[in-house]
Amino acid sequence: MEGSFLALTLRRFLRNRTAVVGGLVLILLAIAAVAAPFLAPYDPREMHPAERLSAPSPSYPLGADQFGRDILSRLLYGARISLRVGFLSTGMALFLGLLLGLTAGYVGGWADTIISRILDIMFAFPFMLLAVSIMAVLGPKEVNVIITIGVVYAPIFARICRGSTLSAKENEYIQAARLVGASDVRIVIRHIMPNIMAPIIVQTTLSLATAIIAEAALSFLGVGTPPPAPSWGEMVSRGREFMELSPWGAIFPAVAIFTTVLSFNLLGDGLRDALDPLMQRAS
């Protein structure tokens, strides 16, 4: 049964050209990130003050930033940071969200009440304030940025998961399994999770997109990955001060962010369309 669902879904997905383009762009991005040490002409931290803010040229293909560091090299290494932060923070949000949502939806009762209240609290919290406070407590490291973004986005996953679990729970198939005496854990893993996967997958791709923007926002406020790490958000934040003199330092990472985030969004939308019949069942 599941094999043909997969095939059908894949075929529906491939019909959506923009989603496919999005996916391909992301694959290219991943390759560029992995191959950064080979592709980058310079060390991303190497400064050449004499050539600072220079326009694209043979020696600096995308130009140089205010310290004379090669923008292309920083962009390539920055891809690693963006993808790492994006995937790990989303993964963390996903894990926490699944844990909370499944528990709340399946166990119900007091667990649901408590977890729902906790989620309400987290939703009503001003996002930036929460992020900045957590970073101030934990300290300026990439791993803390991941934790912060993961914690802030977990409630979204939890809510989706809880909703889907609640309706999946009413499924006759599951009622039957309980009557037969199957253990809760087995039911959750075998029967509930596959049914809620569709909206979760879609939300994952969308969260990946937002995580990258969130990292840029944190960099702007000074609590992102600490310099001189060439995160794209950091590059755009500092580069914008030189926008009129030498826009390259801001524009190229901005294009990188734009392309990546757009690709994730298109991918997510394509997945949602492709998984449509499954989404109907899960909601």
Residues of this chain that interact with other proteins (CB under 8 A) are: 17-18, 21, 45-47, 49, 52-53, 55, 66-68, 117-118, 120-121, 123-130, 132-134, 136-137, 139-140, 209-210, 213, 216-217, 220-223, 226-228, 233, 236-238, 240-248, 250-251, 254-255, 257-259, 261-262, 265-266, 269, 272
In the bound state with other proteins, the residue whose beta carbon lies nearer, of 175 and 283, is 283
The number of angstroms, rounded, from the C-alpha of 5 to the middle of its chain's C-alpha atoms is 26
Nearest partner of 223 among 125, 141, 127, judged by Cα: 141
Give the separation between CA 63 and CA 41, rounded to whole angstroms.
12
Q: How far is the CB of 102 from other proteins (least distance, A)?
A: 22
d(Cα 174, Cα 157) in Å, to the nearest integer? 23
Closer by beta carbon to other proteins, 188 or else 208: 208
Contact 106, 163 (CB under 8 A): no
Q: Is 182 helix (H, G, I), strand (E, B) or coil?
A: coil
For the bound state, the minimum distance from the C-beta of residue 59 to other proteins, rounded and expressed in Å, comes to 15
**Smaller CB distance to other proteins: residue 148 or 187?**
148
Least distance between other proteins and beta carbon 212 (Å): 9
Min dist. Cβ of residue 124 to other proteins (A): 4
Of 68 and 108, CB closest to other proteins: 68
Question: Considering Cα of 255, then 87, then 208, then 92, what sign does the dihedral take?
Answer: negative
Name the H helices within the chain: 2-15, 17-34, 36-39, 71-102, 109-124, 127-138, 142-169, 172-180, 184-187, 193-220, 232-239, 248-274, 276-282
Q: Which of 221, 193, 237 is nearest to 78 (CA)?
A: 237
Which is nearer to other proteins, 17 or 186 (by Cβ)? 17
Question: What span, in angstroms and rounded, lies between the C-alpha atoms of 184 and 189?
Answer: 9
CB-wise, 133 or 171, nearer to other proteins? 133
Q: How far is the CB of 127 from other proteins (least distance, A)?
A: 7
The two tokens of residue 7 are 């095939």
Residue 119 beta carbon to other proteins: minimum distance, rounded to whole angstroms: 10
Q: At what angle do helices 193-220 and 232-239 cross, to 10 degrees?
A: 30
